[in-house]
Amino acid sequence: MLKVEKAVVAYGRATALREVSLVVNTGEIVTLIGANGAGKSTLLNAISGVVPLKGGDIWLDANRLSGLPSHRTVRLGVGYVPEGRQIFGTMTVMDNLTMGSYAHVARNWLRPLGYAGWALRSDTVKSNLEMVFDLFPVLKERRGQQAGSLSGGEQQMLAIGRALMSSPKILLLDEPSLGLAPNLVRDILRLIARLRAEGLTILLIEQDAAAALKIADRGYVMERGRIVLEGSSQELFRNDEVRQAYLGKTRA
Amino acid sequence: MAGVTSGSIYALVGLGFTVIYSVTGIINFAQGEFVMLGGMISYIILDSTGLPTVPALLLTIAVVATVGAVLYLMAIRSARKASVVSLIIITIGASVFIRGVAGEIWTRDYVRPPYFSGDESLSFLGAYIQPQALWIIGTTVAAMIVLQVFLTYTVMGKALRACAINRAAAGLVGIDARVMALISFSLAAAFGALGGVVVAPLTTTSYSVGVMMGLKGFVAAAIGGFRSPFAAFVGGITIGIVESLAVAIDWGPFSSAYKDAIALVVLLLILLVRSGRLAAEERVG
């Protein structure tokens, strides 16, 4: 269970998060809804340790995440797919996935010095790789290709696949469908539902709030660095303010 | 041939610049001092302990790699909130410090460690060549290959590259950028020391050779755009050959007296062409 308690984040004098509290129960899909600049991405950045907290606390199960940099939170089970994918463009698909398992490999400090192929033979890493190739057969086909030469959708799959290589307990997804064709957006959302079915916990930011609420169990609405509303997906769907502000003219 | 020999050393120094720059965004102006330390420490170990050549040289490289690590931990890491420009200035200070200490505790004379395998010239295609020159070229090529294999095939090497490509994303997969920076400083120091160790028997060495070595290695790396070790290698060989051509022509502005100025001219040209691009790529350390 991910628990954020009164998290405060400030960039210089500008406060981006004002005492945000939320809970993501194990096995849930929770979505964050809000306009650009509402603090959704900042919240994910704070959870993964990319930006430091000014106040408050963040816990994942029994581990305290607040105060840890991102390379430490990965080891505790936070898998983060940031906006813009951030894959290693001039490395191959396989190398990107290998880097995804770095948190596992580096548990033993001598292992990174070995041949990368050996690292992939360890049980955990091997089964993660099989799972990623099973979810995204196209990555298996293109494993020797430069990641930067993949299409936008394939790069998104690679970014998610790379995060899965670290065996995360919770996956933080920031606009995974940004810039993708509508049919790919559906594929990605279907995939997120499938990941949950396999036991992952997911915290999702998605521009298309209606689509996100369809696969999510619960949602939080953010405005100017605060959480202003929370509820089950059905409740938020039915809420008039939410429908007007974020769901456009979509049918209930 | 003389050009390729001195170019090899510039290439080794340039490799160091490239490794540190690509991983951390810092241009380490103490890089030349690693070459000086390599030459001086190998001389001292060989002169005073009677260790056989190979262990003495390996020990030298290990010592200098440690100096590189200490430089990072004490000067760079402790100033973690400083901008890249301040960190670069810190490396200039560190180079002055290392040179000063070396000049105080060791002799200020030029010294020459023994050749690796005698000083009898070999005849090669009608030209005579010092065996040490072959050692220099062979060592540089071998070091290049080892580095390339390390960066291409090991998890650690891939992690260093990942850090160079996108430091934030490297953090997200669990790579500690500070550990990678530490490794890059040690690697760069080791490569610089290797250069110093192999070149000192041929050219002699002193506490002050680091300045010129650092400068030429910087030019080698700059020709390669600080991008890849191979580019630095090509850059180093280029500088070496251009220099030796100037010495061979030995006329007017191409007089051998201006040999060292050539690298500076090349540097000026590169800075004119590239300064905009480098500034645009400036990254945070």
Q: Are B21 and B27 in contact (CB under 8 A)?
A: yes
- Both tokens of B284, joined, read 């945070």
In this structure, is residue B121 part of a structural domain? no
Q: Which of B154, B165, B172 to mutate to test the interface with A (most CBs of A within 10 A)?
A: B172
Res A57: pLDDT:
94
**Inter-chain touch B155–A89, beta carbons under 8 Å:** no
Q: Are B240 and B79 in contact (CB under 8 A)?
A: no
∠ CA A138-A139-A141 to the nearest 5 degrees? Answer: 65
**Inter-chain touch B174–A113, beta carbons under 8 Å:** no
Facing residue for A102 by CB, picked from B159, B166, B177: B159
Q: Are A8 and A14 in contact (CB under 8 A)?
A: no
Alpha-carbon gap: A185 to the closest alpha carbon of chain B (Å): 23
Res A252: pLDDT:
43
Facing residue for B165 by CB, picked from A91, A100, A119: A91
In this structure, is residue B223 part of a structural domain? yes
Quote the CA–CA distance of B213 and B193 in Å, as a whole number: 11
Residues of A in contact with B156 (CB under 8 A): 112-113
Task: Determine how many CB atoms are found less than 10 A away from the CB of residue A114.
Answer: 15
**A97: amino acid identity, one letter:** L
Residue B280 main-chain phi, psi, to 5 deg:
-65, -30
Count of CB contacts below 8 A, A vs B? 88
**Cα separation values, A13 from A49, A159, A189, B108, Å:** 20, 32, 37, 54
Does B155 contact chain A (CB < 8 Å)?
yes
Number of domain units in chain B: 1
**Inter-chain touch B158–A116, beta carbons under 8 Å:** yes
Alpha-carbon gap: A117 to the closest alpha carbon of chain B (Å): 8
Could you report the per-residue pLDDT of B4-34, keeping only the tens digit for each? Answer: 888 899 999 999 999 999 888 889 999 999 9
Domains and CATH numbers, chain A: 1-77+169-252 (3.40.50.300), 94-167 (no CATH)
Alpha-carbon gap: B154 to the closest alpha carbon of chain A (Å): 4
Based on the number of CB atoms within 10 Å of its own CB, is A69 exposed (0-12), middle (13-18) or buried (19 or more)? middle
Res A26: pLDDT:
94
Q: Considering only CA atoms, which of A180, A109, A113, A120 is closest in space to residue A151?
A: A180
In this structure, is residue B123 part of a structural domain? no
**Inter-chain touch B166–A162, beta carbons under 8 Å:** no
Does B162 contact chain A (CB < 8 Å)?
yes
**Inter-chain touch B175–A100, beta carbons under 8 Å:** no
**A53: amino acid identity, one letter:** L
Alpha-carbon gap: B113 to the closest alpha carbon of chain A (Å): 33
Quote the CA–CA distance of A154 and A207 in Å, as a whole number: 19
Expressed as residue numbers, the domain containing B18 is: 2-112+130-280
In this structure, is residue B119 part of a structural domain? no
One digit per residue, pLDDT tens: chain A, 252 residues? Answer: 999 999 999 988 888 999 999 999 999 999 999 988 899 999 999 999 999 999 999 999 999 999 899 999 999 999 999 988 889 999 999 999 999 999 888 887 777 888 888 888 888 899 999 999 999 999 999 999 999 999 988 999 999 999 999 999 999 999 988 888 888 888 888 899 999 998 899 999 988 888 899 999 999 999 999 999 999 999 998 888 888 888 875 444
**Inter-chain touch A114–B172, beta carbons under 8 Å:** no
Residues of B in contact with A158 (CB under 8 A): none
Low-confidence ranges of chain B (pLDDT < 70): 250-257, 274-285
Q: Considering only CA atoms, which of B72, B60, B62 is closest in space to residue B30?
A: B72
**Inter-chain touch A99–B165, beta carbons under 8 Å:** no
Alpha-carbon A28 to chain mean position = 13
**Inter-chain touch B165–A90, beta carbons under 8 Å:** yes
Does B175 contact chain A (CB < 8 Å)?
yes
**Inter-chain touch B158–A99, beta carbons under 8 Å:** yes
Res B106: pLDDT:
87
Q: Are A177 and A160 in contact (CB under 8 A)?
A: no
Alpha-carbon gap: B212 to the closest alpha carbon of chain A (Å): 34
Q: Considering only CA atoms, which of A54, A43, A51 is closest in space to residue A3?
A: A43
In this structure, is residue B210 part of a structural domain? yes
Residues of A in contact with B173 (CB under 8 A): 71, 74, 99-100, 102-103, 162, 165-166
| ipTM attached to this prediction | 0.89
Facing residue for A102 by CB, picked from B153, B174, B177: B174
* Domain at B159, CATH number: 1.10.3470
Give the residue from chain A lying closest to B175, CA to CA: A71
Q: Considering only CA atoms, which of A163, A220, A155, A194 is closest in space to residue A48?
A: A163
Helix ranges restricted to H, chain B? 2-24, 31-49, 53-71, 84-105, 131-153, 155-165, 167-172, 177-203, 210-223, 229-249, 259-280
Q: Are strands A78-81 and B122-124 parallel, antiparallel or unpaired?
A: unpaired
Q: Are strands A78-81 and B127-129 parallel, antiparallel or unpaired?
A: unpaired
In this structure, is residue B190 part of a structural domain? yes
Alpha-carbon gap: A114 to the closest alpha carbon of chain B (Å): 5
Task: Determine how many CB atoms are found less than 10 A away from the CB of residue A246.
Answer: 21
**Inter-chain touch B155–A105, beta carbons under 8 Å:** yes
**Inter-chain touch A71–B177, beta carbons under 8 Å:** yes
